[in-house]
Amino acid sequence: MLRGYYTAASGMLAQQRRQDILTNNMANALTPGYKTDQTSLRSFPELLIQQMGEKQIPVKNGLRIPTNQPIGSINTGVYMHETTPMFEQGDVRDTGIQTDVALVNGQLPDDDGFLFFTVQNEDGGMSYTRNGNFTVDAEGFLTSSTGYYVLDATGNRIQTGSNDFQVNANGQILVNGNTIPLGIAYHPNATADMVKVGNDLFEVEGDAQPVDARGVAGVTFEVQQGVLEGSNVDTIQTMTDMMAAYRSFELNQQVLKAYDQSMDLAANQIGKLR
């Protein structure tokens, strides 16, 4: 009976966490460059149930031998195993704003490979983003929408001085007669190694580090100015998944109520003296 409590409760917790992820995806459906999170639900390890008994041997002293009869396996519930970002190109839309830049994937040699802009994070290190909603700060440096410095191919801050600059298809910023290559990084296994850290940023969780995309054979891309890459959230599918998660939560809730009623009968009604 108590096993049923744990199974139903684990189902409710898993669906609640899944609902939280789906809600966050929906809330960021209009965030430039946002990559939708996918959830993975897994079951707890299965347990083997055996019937324990004994077999009497017809001898003079009445010998009894313990026996185990396999009944089958049982699972004690599910849990949220992990969330992984889905790296797919979002739709590109025109904004007409000079500082907006979109990174459009071309040919990528690895199935899980992906391209990113490079920015300087709060700790002075390097982080990665697909949000090209850039702006120019009071000191003339190119920054992301969340205030992080956009870096060039050598890891230095980019100073344009104003919004009056051009970006060509190769990702080179043309300003005052100078050419500054935008820092565009490529990671061959982004799905496994790139994790979200907030503020539209990704960081590496693994041994392999992103490299300059221009130096990787087989990688092609195009940088477009005056446009933004939208999120890759499928709002219709997300709404469907949210309804399914809600229904699953309700079903587990009803099971938990049924177990609670059974326990109430067992504790307060069965064997009650009248």
Residue 270 lies in a domain: no
Q: Are residues 150 and 244 in the same domain?
A: no
Q: Are residues 168 and 248 in the same domain?
A: no
pLDDT along the chain (274 residues), means of 10: 74 90 94 92 69 71 72 70 89 94 93 94 92 94 93 94 92 91 94 90 87 92 96 95 92 84 74 58
Q: Can you tell me the distance from the alpha carbon of 99 to that of 115, in angstroms, rounded to the nearest whole number?
A: 19
Q: Are residues 110 and 215 in the same domain?
A: yes
Q: Are residues 104 and 216 in the same domain?
A: yes
Q: Are residues 127 and 24 in the same domain?
A: no
pLDDT of residue 233: 95
Alpha carbons within 13 angstroms on the beta-carbon side of residue 102 total 23
Could you list the residue range(s) of the whole structural domain that residue 79 is in? 2-83+234-263
**Cβ 223 vs Cβ 168: under 8 Å:** yes
- Which tokens hold the place of 226? 């005056």
Residue 268 lies in a domain: no
Q: Are residues 149 and 219 in the same domain?
A: yes
Q: What's the total number of domains in the chain?
A: 2
Assessment of whether the complete model's pTM goes beyond 0.85: no
Q: Are residues 152 and 124 in the same domain?
A: yes
DSSP E strands in the chain: the ranges are 37-43, 47-57, 63-74, 78-85, 92-94, 101-105, 114-120, 126-129, 135-136, 142-143, 149-150, 166-167, 172-175, 178-181, 184-187, 194-198, 201-204, 211-212, 221-225, 227-229
